[in-house]
Amino acid sequence: MPKSKRNRPVTLSKTKKKGREHKENVVNAIRESVEKYDSVYVFTFENMRNLKFKEFRDQLKSSSRFFLGSNKVMQVALGRSVADEIRPGLHKISKLLRGDSGLCFTSLPKEEVERLFNEYEDYDFARTGSIATEKVELNEGPLDQFTHEMEPFLRKQGMPVRLNKGVVELVSDFIVCEEGKPLSPEAARILRLLGIKMATFKLHLTCRWSSEDFEIYREGLEDSDVESS
């Protein structure tokens, strides 16, 4: 009788090796990009939308390459100090990889990169936990935008509704969300139904490095932030 595969011991070495290999591949790809492209930028992002970011990246794929992922891995690739940086000054870029950050390697002119990043933004529906950008309140009365089949779902979202001759009706005023406060799961669903988009996917340039110079874009960042330790 053949042995059951479920009883075979499983080692974690393959998993660990795969993870290590992936990191090594990223490090090597970043170091190759340093040699291939004229400059590298650190950027941060708000309300990341993977599909929208892919569209932005695809616009520049003939002249640029992007990296997102572990800041620590990207820092290792560039070098975290003067002693281990792979090109002079790259440790300054490394030190500004914080939080939701990424790298953009490009051969585009500086002015073109700045224009593309500054002009790009895309609106989308906010997710649970996002901060409401405005107060949304629905007044008592009929809600003509909803069909009668949606009444049970709306009630489950906490809305005081009823059916009145086949029309969904609010029996009292209802506040969906308050400006400056996190959205509940129910509020996020209602805003989507109402077609109200509160999330803006934006990219912000933090700094730029080339073999000739280094430049910081973000206000509040000083030279002391990138001095070697």
Residue 154 reports pLDDT greater than 70: yes
Q: Which residue type sits at 219?
A: E
Q: Residue 106 burial (CB < 10 Å; 0-12/13-18/19+)?
A: buried
Q: Range(s) for CATH 3.30.70.1730 in the chain?
A: 18-122+200-226
Question: Can you give the pLDDT at residue 222?
Answer: 54
Other beta carbons within 10 Å of 126: 23
Q: Confidence band (pLDDT; 50, 70, 90) for 200?
A: confident
Question: Can you give the pLDDT at residue 135?
Answer: 95
Question: Which segment of 88-92, 150-154, 197-201, 219-223 scores lowest on mean pLDDT?
Answer: 219-223
- 170-197 residue pLDDT tens: 999 999 999 999 999 999 999 999 999 9
User: For 136-196, CATH number?
Assistant: 3.90.105.20
- 8-60 residue pLDDT tens: 444 444 445 557 888 888 999 999 999 999 999 999 987 777 778 898 889 88
Residue 120 reports pLDDT greater than 70: yes
Question: Can you give the pLDDT at residue 176?
Answer: 95
Q: Please tell me the class of the 18-122+200-226 domain.
A: alpha beta
- 59-114 residue pLDDT tens: 888 999 999 888 999 999 999 888 888 889 899 999 999 888 999 999 999 999 99
Q: Confidence band (pLDDT; 50, 70, 90) for 123?
A: confident
Where in 36-130 does DSSP place strands (E)? 39-46, 64-68, 101-106, 121-124
Q: Range(s) for CATH 3.90.105.20 in the chain?
A: 136-196
Q: Confidence band (pLDDT; 50, 70, 90) for 169?
A: very high
List the structure tokens of 222.
Answer: 């000083």
Q: Confidence band (pLDDT; 50, 70, 90) for 225?
A: low
Contact (Cβ atoms closer than 8 angstroms) between residue 34 and residue 78: yes
* Rounded distance between C-alpha atoms, residue 160 and residue 178, angstroms: 18
